[in-house]
């Protein structure tokens, strides 16, 4: 079976943060497209090119990277485990979240991420590990381990993803490869759009389970569980 599941933060559809993500990526969390609005970037070709990669995953922050279910594990068991994890959490207000250039792409991120968010990501990575099928040699190779540092390589082999625990950085990706010179106007538009739509600090208040039927299909949110701590 090639289906994969991921544990993401996806904002509730009714929130300004979700509205921003829909306009930035041109799709909803369930995979459906949105209607073009007056907020859309006027250069449709550039917008389509820059958001193609993040739109494949949907507007989200990764808390446990996509994985195949372990032998004997079921989708029902995964949903139950995520729900039990979510009900123990407290919402986190995301002050100072804003569009930033990270290496060569733009994402919503913090200058200094809240410790509570890093702790949540750690719980997702470790607490759900028993449901993850170990990575194949091909999957590990796809991550190009030679380009990772020793800690990242260790995490890749142990948890199936290099950017966890001490290497984790909360971010909600908004573009693919971004050239700060060529794409400056698009970056300015993202900042302006975020400022117009998200007028108060958004809240991380739920866990989403997303699903991908195969390696080429886009991810879709199939369940979400609000925090109750």
Domains of the chain are: 4-226 (3.90.1140.10)
pLDDT tens series, the chain, 229 aa: 589 999 999 999 999 999 999 999 999 998 888 877 878 999 999 999 999 999 999 999 999 999 999 999 999 999 999 999 999 999 999 999 999 999 999 999 999 999 999 999 999 999 999 999 999 999 999 999 999 999 999 999 999 999 999 999 999 999 999 999 999 999 999 999 999 999 999 999 999 999 999 989 999 999 999 999 6
Length of the chain in terms of residues written: 229
CA atoms within 13 A of residue 78's CA, in its CB half-sphere:
28
């Amino acid at each position: 079976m090639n289906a994969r599941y991921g544990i993401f933060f996806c904002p509730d559809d009714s929130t300004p943060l979700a509205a921003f993500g829909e306009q930035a990526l041109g799709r909803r969390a369930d995979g459906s497209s949105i209607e073009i609005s007056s907020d859309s970037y006027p250069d449709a070709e550039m917008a389509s090119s820059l958001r193609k990669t993040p739109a494949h995953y949907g507007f989200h922050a990764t808390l446990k990277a996509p994985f195949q279910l372990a032998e004997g594990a079921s989708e029902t068991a995964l949903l139950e485990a995520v729900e039990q994890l979510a009900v123990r959490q407290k919402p986190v207000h995301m002050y100072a979240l804003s569009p930033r250039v990270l290496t060569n792409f733009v994402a919503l991120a913090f200058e200094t991420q809240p410790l509570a968010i890093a702790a949540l990501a750690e719980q997702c990575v470790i607490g759900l590990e028993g449901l993850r099928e170990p990575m194949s040699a091909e999957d590990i190779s796809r991550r190009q381990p030679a380009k990772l540092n020793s800690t990242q390589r260790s995490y890749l082999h142990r948890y199936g993803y290099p950017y966890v625990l001490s290497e984790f950085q909360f971010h909600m990706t908004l573009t693919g490869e971004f050239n700060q010179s060529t794409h400056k106007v698009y970056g300015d538009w993202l900042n302006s759009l975020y400022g117009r739509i998200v007028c108060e600090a958004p809240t991380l208040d739920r866990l989403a389970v997303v699903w991908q039927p195969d390696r080429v299909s886009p991810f879709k949110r199939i369940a979400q569980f609000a925090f109750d701590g």
